[in-house]
Amino acid sequence: MLDGAVRIRLTALTASFRAPSFVAYQLSLAVPPLATIFGLLSAARGHWVMPHEVPWLAYRLTYAARAMDLEAIYSVERKDAADTPRFKERNIVQREFLVSPELDLFLPAEWRDPFLRPRYQLVLGRSQDLATVSSIGPASLEPVSTGPVTGVLLPAEVVARNGVTAVLQNLPVAFTPDPERAPVRVTMFGLIDGKRSTRGLQFVTIEDGAGWLVRDRESGVVVPLYRQEWILDGR
């Protein structure tokens, strides 16, 4: 049981989490990867946050709809990490985004203050996807073996155990700071879509959580909890 945790709700008009598989034509993932969450933590705290600074975290993201944008882009490239980036060409690409995203973040209590007064602007994706902290409240997470989930990333083995509908993606858990920005670890997740329908949230029932699921007693929300050791080493 994790008492004294916080639940931070971020809302925005739009969000976009580029599927790393598709570089030029952007599909948005339904759920942000862990690396994006570390980006958010970094923005809130004002310095690059790495996994060894966060003992655990959990989250889910729901949204109202998917939509497609057309974007004129000015391509920039460089030969290697030491080279100066140069403008290359202008192009028009499709960019998928999520409408009215709501992110519920569960974190250790010390994250309350950084999200009360974030150092940098919080975004759910790119710079235009401005986000706001709409509430911060107490959370107490208890382990559960089964439960309904939506808008979460499940480790691939949990997806396989339960045979649920999911989109599999290899996703980075975190990145090292600039200029290298190398992935700390990349692992396969199943994305459980969190699109809100007119009938409300649609859940997938996980019968065998294999030790991954926690339930917030305050809100009833069930989410997978990622421990620091797992994020860093997959153990």
Contacts with other proteins by CB under 8 A lie at: 18-27, 73-81, 85, 88-89, 91, 93-94, 156, 159-160, 163-172, 179-183, 185-190, 193, 198
Q: Both tokens of residue 220? A: 């009833």
- For residue 174, the minimal CB distance to other proteins (Å) is 12
Q: Which is nearer to other proteins, 161 or 217 (CB)?
A: 161
- 3-class SS at 113? helix
Task: Give the count of alpha carbons within 13 A of 161, CB side only.
Answer: 16
Counting beta carbons within 10 angstroms of the beta carbon of residue 232, is it exposed (0 to 12), middle (13 to 18) or buried (19 or more)?
A: middle
- For residue 112, the minimal CB distance to other proteins (Å) is 33
Q: Which is nearer to other proteins, 59 or 175 (CB)?
A: 175
- For residue 27, the minimal CB distance to other proteins (Å) is 6
In 10 A of CB 200, how many CB atoms? 8
Rounded-to-integer distance, Cα 12 and Cα 112, Å? 19
Amino acid identity of 213? L
Q: Which is nearer to other proteins, 47 or 181 (CB)?
A: 181
What contacts 139, CB < 8 A, 6 or more positions away?
Answer: 5, 6, 7, 106, 216, 217, 218, 219
Q: Which is nearer to other proteins, 75 or 145 (CB)?
A: 75
- For residue 6, the minimal CB distance to other proteins (Å) is 31
Residue 225: name the closest of 26, 1, 69 by CA: 1
- For residue 125, the minimal CB distance to other proteins (Å) is 13
Q: Which is nearer to other proteins, 114 or 224 (CB)?
A: 224
- For residue 102, the minimal CB distance to other proteins (Å) is 21
Q: Which is nearer to other proteins, 2 or 61 (CB)?
A: 61
Q: Tokens 């009360």 belong to which residue? A: 116
